[in-house]
Structure 1
Amino acid sequence: MFRNYFKIGWRNLAKQKMYSFVKIGGFALGIAACLLIALFIRDELSYDLHYADGNRIYRVVEVFTEKGETDRGVWMEAPFAAAVKADFPEIEKAGRYNSGELFGAGSNQIRRDDQMDNTYEEGFVFADQELLEILKVPMVYGNLAHCLDQPNTMVITKSKADKYFPGENPVGQLMVVNDYTKQPYKIGGVIADFPANSHFNFQFIITMKEREFWNGEQNYWGATNYPTYLLLRPGTDVKQLEEKLLKVTEKYLLPLWIEQGRSDAKQLAKNIQYELQPIANVHLRNAGIGDPVPTHGDIRFVWLFGVIAAFILVIACINFINLSTAKSANRAKEVGLRKTVGSFRSNIINQFLIESLLFSFLSFALGLLLAWLFLPYFNVLASKSLSFPWGEWWLAPVMLVSCVLIGLLAGLYPSFYLSSFKPIQVLKGNLSRGSKNAATRSVLVVFQFTTSIILIISTFVIYRQVRYILTKDVGFDKEQVLLLQGTNTLGDKLQTLKDELLQLADVKSISASDYLPINGTKRNGNMFWLEGRNKIDKSVGGQFWQVDHDYVKTMGLKLAAGRDFSRDMASDSSAVIINQKMAKELGLTDPIGKRMMNYEVFNIIGVVEDFNFDSFRSDISPLVLKLGISPNIISVKLNAKDVTTTLASIETVWKRVVPHQPIRYSFLDESFSRMYDDVQRMGHIFTTFAVLAIIVACLGLFALSAFMIEQRGKEISIRLVLGASLENIFRLLTVNFVKLVLISIVIAAPVAWYMMDKWLQDFTYKTELSWDVFVLGGVMAVVIALITISYQAIRAGLANPAASLRSE
């Protein structure tokens, strides 16, 4: 019997080629989209699940609440890890790391001590021995318990060991960082590379043993540069431990603040709490947490893309249901005849469910092929390296169950609807066209286009926000600024390099400073107050950047008052330039000549207009610029029509001055744009799946309109005979579909507004959610629908009416 059902289903598939193509093609596109997004979601949810004791590893988050505003950060004090391990028996191990470029982490030059040529490498970090023990990082060479327990030792990853010591066990070998030959690092061990689904991306781990970045730093509770991880003992109540950690503030921080003379010390202590964040939550649940890791995901995006995939699959299922019920009249006599010769309703239902499963199977096969073909493109789109888990045991069962489940769900309504036909009415030709069935199809079409319009409007808003960010006046000139990196090792050659570069015709100015208005460069938070205040209860938190005499000019900062630093003014060594936000926070309307403090006294000589030096997701912070040495990055302001030729000239100068060090550079505007890669990536993904949803919806609309025109063929022929024009026929056939699209616009607009308004709240500086976006989305939906239907409508209007009326 089932074999017969399959034969009938296959014959119907081959007989109705266009409808079969839409059913299978639409289903396949929906399934391919679901598979790709499922791979994306699976990868995002798999972050940091591979650690042996992962359920006991937590990251410490400090929560500071004041005046209704809450700030979260992971930069703990230098002595915090040792103190909490000693004070709380629930904590088995506590480990820290420091990834601040200010201290020499991040990017550096490195070489074997028996070689001369340096190589730029990223992923340098300072860490405790206990951090590796907490993570139980797999060791390739060396002993995990002792690999970082000696001063001046370093652990490297397997890939770096293969690069610098091919075929060797490098434990005990020496490596030189930034040409500092007086203090080479001994390799204490080689670890396996951190997997791609880890929020750690360390390549060179330098021990914290006996290391201080300044005198007394490791015992100072004001040195906050250390993300800290805890391994809790089994059975520990995390909530109770979070409450106990409040004693840290009372025991260590409160005495420090009282010693500093803060009149609000006790209130500050009450404002601080601690949260213990499971390591598995670090990647996706990190919104609102100040964090040194730049590549986090967002659980909101994961759920959002999951919803998009479900929408696309539902749209494809709606196509199936609509086309199955629309073609019901063509199968009515078949159903009536089967019932007349003794078939039960259950037999009819089974037959159509088997046909639905056949369509589902073919759609899954095609969808799997499409997903595999488009996976490389999706990887580029999502900045991932996803692959199909062909070898995993669960893939085949999941695909089979999904195929059957979706096939049954999509086939249930058509099966019960078609099996409900009464044989007497069918065989007499009295079968009603079914206003209820038509209404159901209309509701499903509205749902399809509502979903599509939401995606269209959302895509417009995302792209408008990206364009707003990338084109908004940020307060500095980011165009044609070349960043030469790793120049902190040049020593006396630094000035030689600057002098020779300035001889190039297309070089306007040069500045040496690691503090730049882009992510990934140095930051240095400090407290400031006006001279004459005995207590610092009115201090202002802000950034304190070391720059040179040419920084303001090279960055294109605009002076609102005062002057720039001058080489002719020796007193500028104790002078500062502040931004307008700092002047406002200090309560200064005329700051020039005023004196401010940060454990030393500075004279304010200039005020620059506020500029965005972090992200448009946050407000501009107070800023202080001071002359100082910070030579890891040289910024070169160009005025070049032919940038390629200018770059070649700069590389020639570099090789002449620094022959053993490879040049590494980037452009400021490109680095600025990369700050918003996640937003741009979201826009690209949204666009892709919005287009896919529209294609699937239009496929269904195309086939449905073709069927409707087929059903009204004789009516159209009579109208043509009676003198109806092509325009009359076109209007007749499109008006109902356009009404459905207009209803969809009315439903979609408020939903899209709510979604995008919530999304834009993540940005301090954002585009307006104006009405034209919704109008444009609605117009596009109407135009797409008209284009989809037009071919069928025009074809019907130009047809010879005699062909349709000949049988009457």
Structure 2
Amino acid sequence: MIKNYIKIAFRNMVKNKVHAFINIAGLSVGMAVAMLIGLWVWDELSFDKYHSTYNRVGQIMVSQKGTEDVVTFQSTVVPLSADLRTRFADDFKRISLIWRSTHILAVGDKKISQTGSWAEADMPAMLALKMVKGNYTDFKDPSSMIISQSVARSLFGDADPINKTIKADNKTNLKVIGVYEDLPRNTTFYETKFFMPFFNKDNWWSTQTDKWDNHGCQMYVQLADNADFDKVSAKIARVTAAHFKVYDETIQVHPMSKWHLYNDFKNRIAVGGRIEMVWLFGIIGVFVLLLACINFMNLSTARSEKRAKEVGIRKSIGSLRSQLIKQFLSESVLFACLALMVTFGIVLIALPGFNQIADKQIAMPFTNTWFWAMALGFTLFTGIIAGSYPAFYLSSFQPVKVLKGTFKVGRLASVPRKVLVVVQFTVSIVLIIGTIIVFRQIQYAKNRPVGYSRAGLLTVEMNTPEIYGHYEAMRNDLIQTGAIEDMAESNSTTNAIWARNGGFDWEGKSPTFEPTFASIAVTYDFGHTVGWKITQGRDFSRSFPTDTDAFIMNESALKLTGLKNPVGKIMKWGGKPHLVVGVVKDMIMESPYEKPVASIFLMSPGWVNFITLRVKPTIAMQEALKKIEPVFKKYNPGSPFDFKFNDDEYAHKFSDEQRIGNLATIFAVLAIFISCLGLFGLASFIAEQRIKEIGVRKVLGASVANLWRLLSTEFVVLVTISLLIAIPMAYYYMNNWLHRYEYRSTITWWIFAASGIGAIVITLLTVSYHAIKAALANPVKNLRSE
């Protein structure tokens, strides 16, 4: 019986090649989109599952409430580690402080720059690192380190690195005791390429064991086997509160299973985050596959009259309706299986580009049994869904009416097809509108004034002892090269804020008002180098000896303090007086979608970590770098010349939204393509069905334009209905999405108008081929056929 079903299905495919091609092409594209999204979703949901301790590890999150909203962040204090070990030993199996940063690793003349962590002895076991050489049992030794395979290859080649010495930051000699397998990209610690012992004398944070007010490190914990995350969080919540008078501080354990997908906090609770993207693209994948299934349903039911006699004859000789249903479902499953073969080809071709856009390293898991089970199950499901409506519809025909020639499908028979076309274009138009709004939001934020000039700015991290203490000499040498306009040092780049502090006081401040400010230490030439804009007072100057402890505040800080004329006023920080010499326009140093951070810039040359250079616009960047590098080699011989373009770092802030926009664009284009395939097939069928009507009209004098309009109007009406449904849906969901951002664009009427016009134009282009072909056909030939 099954062999017979397959034989009939193949005969129908050969007989109706265009119909078969459209069905297989539509299904394969829809299935390819669904498969790509499915692989992406699986990668997201399996984030950090590489670690066998996945269900027991968590991170300490700190929540503070001062006079502003509750803020939750990852930075905690060093003495908390020992306190938790002492007071809550039964609740924790392992505890580790870490401090992640970029370091220079050197072996002889080989030097590389990599991200690594100072970490306590429990960290490697907590992450269940897979050791390929050596072990981490001696990691508590302050002179030891463990490295990844990639670092081992870079520094030692094929030689055995165990017990070899690596010099970190040109000052710390560490012995390699183990090499671990590189972590996969879908892990939080993917970029951490080595671990160094936290309580090494060269780690500044190891000196902060009694500093309860200095948040900066991160802390990870592994719960005891019988402990519960919520109960432990409740138990330790107020551990640090006694050490703070200004803030109401609580801590909690955030499980590893939520790090990646639930990292947005509101009032101390993880309310969402990347999980929203997972849901979004998961829903898009389902709808794109649904569009492909709709094509199959529409084309199968549209051709119902052609198969009516087949149904009538088979019923008259004894076929049961259930057998007919199985026949039509078998055909649709066969189509789905053929589409699956094409899908694999599409996915394999598309995967490299998809990975680049999605910033992933996804591979087809052909060796995974579950993948094949899911792929075949997914194909079977798609085939049944696509063929269910045609199977039940076609098998319901009355054989007597069909064979007598009195069977007519009737007007109502086309209603389900029209509904499905409306659904198709509703989904497609929502995707188009959403894509436009996403890219408009990105462009709106990109065009936001940032308060300084990014063009030509470079940042170099100060990562070895040699580079400190040569500011004036180094600046003079760099300026003499003729390649740069100026140079400055700071404790934050223009694209990040590394320190926030409270404890500020000023005249007229309420005793109960305790705001925090971004605290940015700079040298004299910072303002001239970055090109900030002074709105009141003046810049820092060597001509004023008092500027060694002076403040410059930004406009947000001025607003927060409530000072009317701050220049010349005294602000105290930690009880020490500082003269305010100027006010600058807000600089966007963090998210371009959020409001500027209230910031205080202070003259503090001893508290700097970054060098910022401005290259002259009249010199080519490559030529400038050739002149700059020798100067850095002179003052920092222990480090490779490693720099970052401030422009590129700023552009990176848009990466998540850009990724959403790029993926949404691809899916929108494919959704339109699938919908147009369906329209193309339906237009072909309707033109064929009405060929005699068109012949009669043409004989009676109808023009080609009139006939084109006759055949196109029905589809334009359906797309217009789709627009009426899609526009309010898109507005509702995209308006909610935009409200996630403090700084956001508006949704204007032209977005909907452009999407609507575009959808109608695409529809007309799709159906016009068959409409014009039918209108140009010789009416005599068509009418003579009977």
Q: TM-score, normalised by structure 2?
A: 0.94
Do residues 109 (structure 1) and 99 (structure 2) align?
no
Q: Which structure 2 residues correspond to residues 349-498 of structure 1 after superposition, within 5 A?
A: 349-486=325-462, 489-491=466-468, 495-498=472-475
Q: Residue 512 of structure 1 aligns with which residue?
A: 489
Do residues 306 (structure 1) and 282 (structure 2) align?
yes
**One of 649, 663, 679 as aligned partner of 1:685:** 663
- Pairwise CA distance, 1:65: 4.6
Partner SS state of residue 604, structure 1:
strand
- Pairwise CA distance, 1:162: 2.5
457-466 vs 719-728, which deviates more?
A: 719-728
Kept in 1: contact 2:493–2:610 (CA 8 A): no
754-763 vs 376-385, which deviates more?
A: 754-763
Do residues 727 (structure 1) and 738 (structure 2) align?
no
Amino acid at match of 2:32: A
- Pairwise CA distance, 1:160: 1.1
- Pairwise CA distance, 1:229: 1.8
Q: Residue 646 of structure 1 aligns with which residue?
A: 624
Partner SS state of residue 51, structure 1:
coil
- Pairwise CA distance, 1:443: 0.4
- Pairwise CA distance, 1:117: 5.1
- Pairwise CA distance, 1:297: 7.5
Do residues 172 (structure 1) and 147 (structure 2) align?
no
**One of 156, 175, 179 as aligned partner of 1:190:** 179
Q: Deviations over 1:727-758 (max 9, x none)?
A: 21111111111111111111111111122122
- Pairwise CA distance, 1:795: 1.3
C-alpha distance in 2 between matches for 1:693 and 1:376: 21
Q: Which structure 2 residues correspond to residues 618-633 of structure 1 after superposition, within 5 A?
A: 618-629=594-605, 630-633=608-611
C-alpha distance in 2 between matches for 1:240 and 1:491: 47
- Pairwise CA distance, 1:439: 0.4
Partner SS state of residue 501, structure 1:
helix
Partner SS state of residue 316, structure 1:
helix
Q: Residue 766 of structure 2 aligns with which residue?
A: 788
Q: Deviations over 1:597-638 (max 9, x none)?
A: 222221000110112110034321111112233253332243
C-alpha distance in 2 between matches for 1:793 and 1:136: 65
C-alpha distance in 2 between matches for 1:290 and 1:546: 31
Amino acid at match of 2:431: L
Distance 1:500 1:246, change over 3 A: closer
Task: Percent identity, please.
Answer: 33
Q: Deviations over 1:188-227 (max 9, x none)?
A: 4333322222101311322122656279621121121222
- RMSD value over aligned CA atoms? 2.4
Q: Residue 274 of structure 1 aligns with which residue?
A: 251
Distance 1:409 1:680, change over 3 A: same
Kept in 2: contact 1:528–1:542 (CA 8 A): no
Q: Residue 224 of structure 2 aligns with which residue?
A: 233
767-776 vs 740-749, which deviates more?
A: 767-776
- Pairwise CA distance, 1:240: 2.6
Kept in 2: contact 1:487–1:634 (CA 8 A): no
Amino acid at match of 1:14: V
Q: Residue 52 of structure 1 aligns with which residue?
A: 52
Partner SS state of residue 71, structure 2:
strand
- Pairwise CA distance, 1:281: 1.2
- Pairwise CA distance, 1:534: 11
* Residues paired across the two proteins, number: 777
Kept in 2: contact 1:487–1:494 (CA 8 A): no
Q: Which structure 2 residues correspond to residues 525-604 of structure 1 after superposition, within 5 A?
A: 525-531=500-506, 537-599=512-574, 600-604=576-580
Q: Residue 5 of structure 1 aligns with which residue?
A: 5
- Pairwise CA distance, 1:509: 2.0
- Pairwise CA distance, 1:518: 1.2
Do residues 95 (structure 1) and 67 (structure 2) align?
no
Do residues 206 (structure 1) and 206 (structure 2) align?
no
Distance 1:486 1:772, change over 3 A: same
Kept in 2: contact 1:157–1:191 (CA 8 A): yes
C-alpha distance in 2 between matches for 1:241 and 1:668: 42
C-alpha distance in 2 between matches for 1:622 and 1:646: 35
314-323 vs 49-58, which deviates more?
A: 49-58
Distance 1:12 1:596, change over 3 A: same
Q: Residue 771 of structure 1 aligns with which residue?
A: 749
C-alpha distance in 2 between matches for 1:72 and 1:455: 34
Q: Residue 799 of structure 1 aligns with which residue?
A: 777
Distance 1:239 1:648, change over 3 A: closer
Q: Deviations over 1:674-698 (max 9, x none)?
A: 1111110111000001101100000
Amino acid at match of 1:781: A
C-alpha distance in 2 between matches for 1:209 and 1:424: 90
424-433 vs 88-97, which deviates more?
A: 88-97
Q: Residue 136 of structure 2 aligns with which residue?
A: 144
Distance 1:533 1:97, change over 3 A: farther
Kept in 1: contact 2:239–2:251 (CA 8 A): no
Q: Deviations over 1:342-370 (max 9, x none)?
A: 32222222221211111111011111111
Q: TM-score, normalised by structure 1?
A: 0.91
Q: Residue 21 of structure 2 aligns with which residue?
A: 21
C-alpha distance in 1 between matches for 2:622 and 2:135: 49
Partner SS state of residue 54, structure 1:
coil
**One of 606, 613, 630 as aligned partner of 1:635:** 613
Q: Residue 102 of structure 1 aligns with which residue?
A: none
**One of 316, 323, 329 as aligned partner of 2:305:** 329
Partner SS state of residue 636, structure 1:
strand
C-alpha distance in 1 between matches for 2:633 and 2:200: 37
Partner SS state of residue 231, structure 1:
strand
C-alpha distance in 2 between matches for 1:524 and 1:494: 22
Kept in 2: contact 1:529–1:538 (CA 8 A): no
Q: Which ranges of structure 2 fall in alignment gaps of 5 or more residues?
A: none
C-alpha distance in 2 between matches for 1:475 and 1:368: 50
Amino acid at match of 2:148: T
Kept in 2: contact 1:465–1:767 (CA 8 A): yes
Distance 1:786 1:652, change over 3 A: farther
Do residues 740 (structure 1) and 731 (structure 2) align?
no
C-alpha distance in 2 between matches for 1:595 and 1:494: 28
Q: Which ranges of structure 1 fall in alignment gaps of 5 or more residues?
A: 100-104
Partner SS state of residue 14, structure 1:
helix
- Pairwise CA distance, 1:405: 2.0
- Pairwise CA distance, 1:239: 2.6
Do residues 243 (structure 1) and 234 (structure 2) align?
yes
C-alpha distance in 1 between matches for 2:445 and 2:181: 39
Partner SS state of residue 285, structure 1:
coil
Partner SS state of residue 502, structure 2:
strand
C-alpha distance in 2 between matches for 1:676 and 1:81: 35
Do residues 118 (structure 1) and 111 (structure 2) align?
yes
Kept in 2: contact 1:335–1:419 (CA 8 A): yes
Amino acid at match of 2:73: G
Do residues 700 (structure 1) and 678 (structure 2) align?
yes
451-460 vs 420-429, which deviates more?
A: 420-429
Amino acid at match of 2:194: F
- Pairwise CA distance, 1:307: 0.6
C-alpha distance in 2 between matches for 1:594 and 1:584: 15
- Pairwise CA distance, 1:532: 6.5
C-alpha distance in 2 between matches for 1:705 and 1:535: 74
- Pairwise CA distance, 1:709: 1.1
Kept in 1: contact 2:142–2:197 (CA 8 A): yes
Kept in 2: contact 1:530–1:586 (CA 8 A): no
C-alpha distance in 2 between matches for 1:768 and 1:123: 40
